Structure 1
Amino acid sequence: MDGMFGRTKKKSGPRAVTLIGKPGCHLCDDAREVVAKVCAETGAVWEEKDISQDEELYRAYWEQIPVVLVDGEQHTFWRVDPERLRRALGA
């Protein structure tokens, strides 16, 4: 809690969303559309990472792609619910 204002402190700056997927993945294409739209609406920044180019991501998430992280923490996988993502981003 921030004693001066009586509210919980949030991470400074915009929220960050990471989409982890691979080329040719139709679920990844669907997730990209949802992530791009929700981030545009909420002011969050987002990036996409190719699981086939990162061995650590491959080991961690191969059976779950697409995976969405919010501020570095796993938010969801396979299908992205736009309303749930908006809530996670504080919108």
Structure 2
Amino acid sequence: MLSKASKPRKLVLYSKPGCCLCDGLKEKLHAAFSLSGPDPLHDVVLQVRDITSNPEWEKAYQYEIPVLAKVLSDGSEEILPRLSPRLGVELVRKKIAAAFKQ
């Protein structure tokens, strides 16, 4: 059985094509994952979900995207607080690291 430390942490980004806020957040997340420092995020796996491919996602998130969710150990998702588009990469890293500590 895998130990908790060896299991990758997962985030889901609900997005849609042509969403500049979504694209910007995706770029910042990838940059944040590559930063070193306290609480590195190198093991985080980001799954991008196109809300236009699923009617339930589209209904739930059409006016909210980008929506970021943390995948919990039981496979359920916890929606994270919205990250401001103005946040720098280091602050994004800190907020994601803090979300995984909860």
TM-score, scaled to structure 1: 0.74
Match of 1:79? Answer: 84
Shift of 1:30: 0.8
Aligned length: 82
Structure 1 residue ranges (4+ consecutive) displaced by more than 6 angstroms after TM superposition = none
Larger CA deviation: 35-44 vs 50-59: 35-44
Aligned partner of residue 64 in structure 1, secondary structure: coil
Pick closer, same or farther for the CA change 1:49–1:69 going to 2, 3 Å: same
Structure 2: gaps of 5 or more residues: 36-40, 72-76
Contact in 2 for aligned 1:67/1:74 (Cα 8 Å) = yes
Shift of 1:35: 2.0
Shift of 1:64: 0.5
Larger Rg: 1
Aligned-pair RMSD on alpha carbons? 2.4
Is 1:27 aligned to residue 11 of structure 2? no
